[in-house]
Amino acid sequence: MGAAFWDARARRYATRTARTAEADPLLARVQSATGSETVVLDVGCGPGRFALALAPEVAQVVAVDPSPAMLTLLRRQARREGVDNVTTVTGRWQDVEIEPVDVTLCSYVLPLIEDAFGFLAKLDASCRHEAFVYLSAMSTDAVVDPFWRHFHDAPRKPGPTYLDALAVLAELGIDADVEVVELPVRTRFDGLGEAVRDYRDHLLLGDSPEVRKELRALLSSWLVPADGSLRPPLRSTPAAILHWRAHRRSLLRR
Ligand SMILES: C[S@@+](CC[C@H](N)C(=O)[O-])C[C@H]1O[C@@H](n2cnc3c(N)ncnc32)[C@H](O)[C@@H]1O
């Protein structure tokens, strides 16, 4: 998934995640590791829900993302909020050069990365104090698996979860703490048409009248009404906060 993939989805992602950081358990965990002098790095920041929520209480946030559209939305929102201590860096984490910072976070990015070992090694090396990696605690592919089987006549290959991330961290000699939290499912569709477009994208289906008709029929019995819109029939999903102290590791290495 390159930058173009995320550019095309940036606006929708920003709308879905706007103002979700304040009630998200990750924010409180990161805030407990930061103060007014702290420099924070947000790897794969997207439109900046965590970067912008953290910025007012820290010295600086360095926000890295390969998607120019995501970073444009972040900078626009920063201007609206009068936030002037977020620096954006356009590029994949694997390719950018960033000075080590105090606290690093990386939210909902790792399962997209092929070389998780190299990615996490660089994340650890870039961090002087505490690192946080946030990701779904179950493979979200499991949720769309029945739809995938219906259209592709094959099981959906499950994506990695936090257990895989922990195994890679262990290979790196990092014994991360894990906290599994429940996050409300905020996905809402204005109507079946919007839901069909969204699931077609997830399921990598071409656009044809047959596909639209079939998805419409399946989704009309899967989605449930919610305050004038439609939502998937899941109230919450589990997510994992992985955390480790980089300075302790460097002391142990001495
Ligand atoms: C699901 S969004 C998560 C955004 C944000 N961290 C959040 O939690 O709201 C995934 C983001 O990862 C970015 N991304 C994808 N590959 C990346 C890479 N190799 N290095 C850094 N960011 C990457 C995408 O551009 C996208 O903005």
The CATH number that applies at residue 29 is: 3.40.50.150
Q: Which of 11, 12, 65 to mutate to test the pocket of ligand 1 (most atoms within 8 A of CB)?
A: 65
Is the pLDDT at 117 greater than 50? The verdict is: yes
- Give residue 186's pLDDT: 84
Residue 101 has a pLDDT of 97
| pLDDT tens, residue by residue, 218-240 | 999 999 998 899 999 988 999 99
Q: Cα of 110 to ligand 1 centre, how many Å?
A: 8
In a domain, 53, yes or no: yes
Nearest CA to ligand 1 atom 25: 67
Which string of DSSP letters, residue by residue, matches 140-187? Answer: THHHHHHHHHHHHSSPPPPPP-HHHHHHHHHHTT---EEEEEEEE---
The pLDDT, as a whole number, for residue 253 is 52
pLDDT tens by residue, 8-48:
889 988 988 888 999 999 999 999 999 999 999 999 999 99
Q: Is residue 60 part of a domain?
A: yes
* Domain contains 180: yes
Q: How far is the CA of 77 from the centre of ligand 1 (A)?
A: 17
Q: Does residue 86 fall inside a structural domain?
A: yes
Q: Which two tokens stand for residue 204?
A: 């990598």
Does 65 map to a domain?
yes
* In-domain check, residue 125: yes
pTM for this prediction: 0.91
SS3 labels along 217-249: HHHHHHCEEECCEEECCCCEEEEEEEEEEHHHH
Mean pLDDT over each residue of the chain, to the nearest integer: 92
pLDDT in tens, 93-111: 999 999 999 999 999 999 9
List the residue whose alpha carbon is closest to atom 18 of ligand 1: 92
Residue nearest to atom 13 of ligand 1 (CA): 44
Q: According to the model, what pLDDT value does residue 254 have?
A: 44
Ligand 1 atom closest to Cα of residue 6: 25
Residue 150 lies in a domain: no
Of 247, 33, 17, 22, give the one whose Cα is nearest residue 132.
33
**How many whole angstroms from 194 Cα to the centroid of ligand 1?**
23
Q: Is the pLDDT of residue 249 over 70?
A: no
User: Which one, of 122, 52, 62, lies nearest residue 89 by Cα?
Assistant: 62
Q: What is the mean pLDDT of residues 155-161?
A: 84
User: Any idea what DSSP says for residue 21?
Assistant: G
**What residues line ligand 1, using a CB cutoff of 6 Å?**
6, 17, 43-46, 49, 64-67, 70, 92-94, 107-109, 112-113
Domain count across the chain: 1
| CA of 231 relative to ligand 1 center, distance in Å | 24
The mean per-residue pLDDT over the stretch 154-182 comes to 93
Tell me the residue range of the domain where 126 lies: 3-138+158-184+235-253
**Mind listing the pLDDT tens digit for each residue in 53-93?**
999 999 999 999 999 999 999 999 999 999 999 999 999 99
Q: Is residue 81 part of a domain?
A: yes
User: Checking DSSP bridges between strand 60-65 and strand 236-245, what pairing results, if any?
Assistant: unpaired
Q: What is the Cα–Cα distance from 148 to 239, expressed in whole angstroms?
A: 23
Cα separation, 104 vs 87, whole angstroms: 14
